[in-house]
Structure 1
Amino acid sequence: MRHHSATVLWRALLAAALVCGIGLLPWLTHTDPALTVLKARSADRDPTPEVLADIRARLGLDDGPLHLLGQWLTGLARGDAGRSWLSGSEVMPAVLQALGVSLLLMAVALVVAVLTAGLVCARTLRTGGQSRRSGSGSAAIAALPEFLVASVLATVVGVQLGWLPALGWYGPKWTVLPALALGLPAGAVLGRLLDDLLPCAFAEPWAAAAAARGLPGRAIARKSLRRCVPALLPNFGLFVIGLTGGSVAVEQIFDIPGLGRTTLQAALAQDLPVLQAGTLLLVLLAAGTSALRRLAARLLIGPALRDGALPTLHRPMPPARGILPFVYGGLLIVVIALGLPRDPHTLNTGARLEAPAWEHPFGTDALGRDMLARVGHGALDTLLLALATSAAALVVGVLLGLVPRLSGPLADTVNAVPPVLVALLVTAVAGSGPGTPALAVTAVSWAALTAHTSSLLRQERAALHLTVTRGLGAGRWYLLRHELLPAVLPPVTRHALLRVPGVALALASLGFLGLGAQPPSPEWGLLLAENQPYAERAPWSVLAPAAVLALLGALAVTAAGGIRLPRRARRAKPLAESDGPSPARKLVGAR
């Protein structure tokens, strides 16, 4: 009970700090809120000192940010979130309406994500973990950015084919395309994480005993799935929160009045009452999702966690072998090598949006620049910065995952805020510079890795072998070094590699906020965003950077298959840890 009260207090302090930081955002960025409000209300009006003074007096800006924050908190206690600085309307009804839209979109996207995850790991479930594919298809889907999937679906399915509506929010049909854009990448990531755990679940002693007693293979598969789900609940909870507040790009493309879009527009316009109310609702949603996730984990494996009688999901496995990582890596190297000798900045307005040909194998963009050259030259900065940022996020995520009571509420709070808003806060504190994008992305991307680490550690600490080792006198540091970290680091590292393409996109997307790379930089994320308006007329201008990002994702996942828990020499292995397929795997595969 004491630990629960401390966690609630820590979560409340984090929410208060976040709301206060957002309330100080205009003053931290050294911008005049009155000028921003004037531009949003009437862009044609001259910002004379008299006009700005009148706006400050009406909004109470002269009293300072602390006075404004106090007024907002006092009204919030009465259920009044104030009035919008731009429209003058009440904030709470509009924000609650946006939350309802986002929750509906999130629910449909979660259905898509669950179905996608099931398709990714269907073969592993069907064969009892004995036969697994390389996962290249799921890696390619996971590597595709949400805004690109949304653009393709809106253009092809919505506009050209006319099968489903592409713009607006007027009924159930309008939820299908944005839900697909959000759910497909999220489901691919969840499916890969689940597919990583299933073979070890099938190798546990209970599965061998159930197969020996004649339990049907489908029943063993269902129980194996139930066994692995608790380890994914923290990441599933983060996906739920992210689908609500982090779907800004998809909401913009499909013109959906959701909470993420509403919060971002308020941040850009410095409409503090709307921004603070939206952020507070996202944080409360994160807290509610975290409570439901903990309840689900307790219902699924609570007694085993309490009694320390849980088998480990991380057994020695042979590294994945195959030529696919070399094939993907070779293709990526060839593309970069062919593009580097070409000039990525030469303009040729007479060759705008030319289709791929011998002279321009990837075609040209809207300014006539060679796309192969831009992809090749953008690879070095994109890949190096993405790998460095992913490595930093991995280190931070693992270290914070060792202290779940501290990091759990922190991860939920960080993940509840739209990434662009986090970037604005980081820039306000640290300033704009070459390292700002990496710092901003690292400040967000560690959350999923921390949740994964803490979940795996919690189950590993309840494993039988750890209870025996502790009973033989092993200390805390010995268990951490020789038992816990060797079991947890491989799957978390594979998870980090799966997110490398997304990190690359997140870094490049900050350039449009003035925080990172700026045109004419050939970074891959910028190439996607720059050519997105021409996707219908010249699809090759978008497909070229999208293809190399998907290739990067496939390379990351197939290479990650070689990261396994090392075998221990001179150690007797029980039947479930033997090199060959277990009886459960054989029987499940036969059935």
Structure 2
Amino acid sequence: MRRRPLILLGGVLALLALLPLIVTHDPIAQDLAGALGEPSTQHWLGQDHLGRDVLARLIHGAPRSVGLAAACIGFAALVGTLLGLCAAWWGGWGESLIMRGVDLLLAFPGILLALLLVGLLGGGAVPLVIGLTLTQAPPFARLSRAIVAGELLSTHVEAARLAGFGAGAIFRHHLLPPLLPLLLPQLTLGLGTTIMTIAGLGFLGLGLTPPTPEWGAMIAEALPYLTEAPWQTAAPCIGLFIVTLSATLIGRAALPKSRDGEA
């Protein structure tokens, strides 16, 4: 049962990655004669202020917006989980040092910290991944530290230590099994937040380099023409809503069940 949300999430990401293969329009090709063109059989969602096909830009922007968010949250989960594992395993001053660093990151609003890092490093995919990894890693660190610290006090872990099992075997057989089911909902719920953060940074001009299609940048470009061509703004907004809602629902489905059967 725990695999269903992960399979569903993988299916959504694979679909978004394959959609650009079925679109024939070039997302960056300009047709100034058709600028702000209304939806038609040739351009289902119309054309933007430079005559580019809105549907093509929406679909080609999906794997960039969502794929980049998936990469960010994946790195954040890896980094945060490792920090939490190390903090719980070492204890003492090592735990205090790691967790105080995590608390320091949590003291900054996530969007502002990402904005600061991306602004200092410049726009592009790499600064986005670095900035959003730092902003999304603390919840994973706190979750993994709390779960692992409790497991380390259990009798089966103490028995494994007394039996001479190494740290790797203890992590693999006794610490990761109770941790992984709780990481999946955190990962999927964090994916929705990261998608919105990337769109916000793209809206501010700190996302991917133009003319690369990206949903946040598409909203910013279409905003001056909201009254003349509302479909330009509506298309990426609806895309963000659907993808974020899907990630949230998958995260909800991945939550562990309580004893009475409710999440």
TM-score, length-scaled by structure 1: 0.36
- What are the Cα deviations for residues 145-197 of structure 1, in whole angstroms up to 9, with x where unaligned? xxxxxxxxxxxxxxxxxxxxxxxxxxxxxxxxxxxxxxxxxxxxxxxxxxxxx
- The percentage of aligned residue pairs carrying the same residue is 33
Quick one: distance in 2 between partners of 1:560 and 1:525? 23
**Pick aligned residue for 2:234 from 529, 538, 543:** 543
Quick one: distance in 1 between partners of 2:10 and 2:139? 28
**Pick aligned residue for 2:100 from 399, 402, 409:** 409
Unaligned runs of 5+ in 2: 88-94
**2:36: which partner in 1?**
352
Greater Rg over alpha carbons, structure: 1
Name the aligned partner's letter for residue 530 of structure 1. E
- Structure scoring higher RCO (CA < 8 A, sep ≥ 6) equals 2
Quick one: distance in 2 between partners of 1:368 and 1:432? 25
- What are the Cα deviations for residues 54-83 of structure 1, in whole angstroms up to 9, with x where unaligned? xxxxxxxxxxxxxxxxxxxxxxxxxxxxxx
**1:27: which partner in 2?**
none
- What are the Cα deviations for residues 207-234 of structure 1, in whole angstroms up to 9, with x where unaligned? xxxxxxxxxxxxxxxxxxxxxxxxxxxx
**1:319: which partner in 2?**
3
Name the aligned partner's letter for residue 20 of structure 2. I
Alignment partner of 1:420 is 2:87: no
- What are the Cα deviations for residues 486-518 of structure 1, in whole angstroms up to 9, with x where unaligned? 221342144223323433443454456664423
Alignment partner of 1:395 is 2:78: yes
**1:301: which partner in 2?**
none
Quick one: distance in 1 between partners of 2:188 and 2:220? 23
Alignment partner of 1:382 is 2:73: no
Confirm or deny: 8 A CA contact 2:81 2:141 kept in the other structure.
yes
Confirm or deny: 8 A CA contact 1:347 1:369 kept in the other structure.
yes
**1:362: which partner in 2?**
45
Quickly say closer, same or farther: Cα 1:366–1:487, change in 2 above 3 A: same
Unaligned runs of 5+ in 1: 1-316, 566-580
Quick one: distance in 1 between partners of 2:18 and 2:79? 34
Quickly say closer, same or farther: Cα 1:330–1:517, change in 2 above 3 A: closer
Structure 1 residue 400: Cα displacement: 1.1
Quick one: distance in 2 between partners of 1:548 and 1:537? 20
**Pick aligned residue for 2:134 from 443, 450, 457:** 443
Structure 1 residue 389: Cα displacement: 2.3
Name the aligned partner's letter for residue 177 of structure 2. P
Name the aligned partner's letter for residue 541 of structure 1. Q
Alignment partner of 1:479 is 2:170: yes
Structure 1 residue 531: Cα displacement: 3.0
Quick one: distance in 1 between partners of 2:206 and 2:164? 52
Alignment partner of 1:337 is 2:29: no
Name the aligned partner's letter for residue 3 of structure 2. P
Quickly say closer, same or farther: Cα 1:323–1:519, change in 2 above 3 A: closer
Quick one: distance in 1 between partners of 2:37 and 2:21? 23
Structure 1 residue 352: Cα displacement: 1.1
- What are the Cα deviations for residues 250-299 of structure 1, in whole angstroms up to 9, with x where unaligned? xxxxxxxxxxxxxxxxxxxxxxxxxxxxxxxxxxxxxxxxxxxxxxxxxx
**1:171: which partner in 2?**
none
- What are the Cα deviations for residues 299-328 of structure 1, in whole angstroms up to 9, with x where unaligned? xxxxxxxxxxxxxxxxxx653389966875
Confirm or deny: 8 A CA contact 1:338 1:376 kept in the other structure.
no
Structure 1 residue 374: Cα displacement: 0.5
**1:457: which partner in 2?**
148
Structure 1 residue 391: Cα displacement: 2.1
Structure 1 residue 342: Cα displacement: 0.4
Quick one: distance in 2 between partners of 1:318 and 1:389? 23
Alignment of 1:552-567 (within 5 A): 552-553=243-244, 556=247
Quickly say closer, same or farther: Cα 1:319–1:382, change in 2 above 3 A: closer
Structure 1 residue 396: Cα displacement: 0.8
What do you get for the CA RMSD once the two structures are aligned? 4.1
Name the aligned partner's letter for residue 420 of structure 1. L
- What are the Cα deviations for residues 517-554 of structure 1, in whole angstroms up to 9, with x where unaligned? 23332112212333345556644323322333344446
TM-score, length-scaled by structure 2: 0.71
* Secondary structure of the corresponding residue to residue 545 of structure 1: helix
Name the aligned partner's letter for residue 498 of structure 1. L
Alignment of 1:31-430 (within 5 A): 319-320=3-4, 328=12, 332=16, 335-339=19-23, 341-345=24-28, 346-348=30-32, 350-352=34-36, 354=38, 356-402=39-85, 403=87, 404-418=95-109, 419-425=111-117, 428=120
Quickly say closer, same or farther: Cα 1:532–1:453, change in 2 above 3 A: farther
* Secondary structure of the corresponding residue to residue 357 of structure 1: coil
Quickly say closer, same or farther: Cα 1:516–1:564, change in 2 above 3 A: closer
Name the aligned partner's letter for residue 179 of structure 2. V
